[in-house]
Amino acid sequence: MKIHFGEKDGLSRLPFVVGISDDIDNTLTITVSLAKEEDRGSILSGDEIIDDILKDKIPIVADEEEEYEIIFEGYIMYRVLNESYSLGDEYDKFSGKYFRVYERSRFLESMKYGVFCQKDQSGEYYPGKWVHYGICSQNHVVDIISHIPPVVRRRSV
């Protein structure tokens, strides 16, 4: 399944990560929601000064009717960063905009340190070829290294 993250109605918007679950069998499930616009001035704070600023703004919120689960049934490692503190690295080479597949990254290279995964002299990988996937969202950046491609499914509303 191909999801055009953030590409709804021709507008480019970052999706939201609305849930992350890692179960007892090491199955990582990341739930993402596409973004949608609310009515202008529809979200107010109750503070007169702030509301005066917000009254003309169009809020971007998670669209509960456009949620997807990205399931990694065999991940090696993952990390979650607060998007505000994420620093892009020109060294990284990837394809994709909000859902990325990396050809080269410092996170992928960190596999040499502190994990029991190997690339032997013949070029073979254990437990299988490692791939770095990334999800960039409104508030989170999630990086996953897995030797099994993720399963993507739309959540029923």
Closest CA to 96 of 84, 105, 83, 86: 105
In a domain, 61, yes or no: yes
What is the model's pTM? 0.84
Determine contact, residues 142/17, Cβ cutoff 8 Å: yes
Q: In what order do the strands lie in the sheet with 60-72?
A: 16-22, 28-37, 60-72, 151-154
In a domain, 2, yes or no: no
In a domain, 46, yes or no: yes
Domain count within the chain = 1
Grade residue 134 by pLDDT with cuts at 50, 70 and 90. very high
Q: Which domain holds residue 28?
A: 7-154
CA distance readout (Å), 107 to 27, 56, 78: 20, 41, 9
Summarize the confidence of residues 79-105 as an average pLDDT: 91
| Residue % of the chain over a pLDDT of 90 | 46
Determine contact, residues 38/58, Cβ cutoff 8 Å: yes
In a domain, 71, yes or no: yes
Separation of alpha carbons 73 and 109, rounded Å? 22
- pLDDT tens column, 35-62: 888 888 777 788 889 888 888 888 888 8
Cβ-proximal residues to 120 (8 Å cutoff; 6+ apart), any chain: 126
In a domain, 81, yes or no: yes
| Residue % of the chain over a pLDDT of 70 | 91
In a domain, 129, yes or no: yes
In a domain, 1, yes or no: no
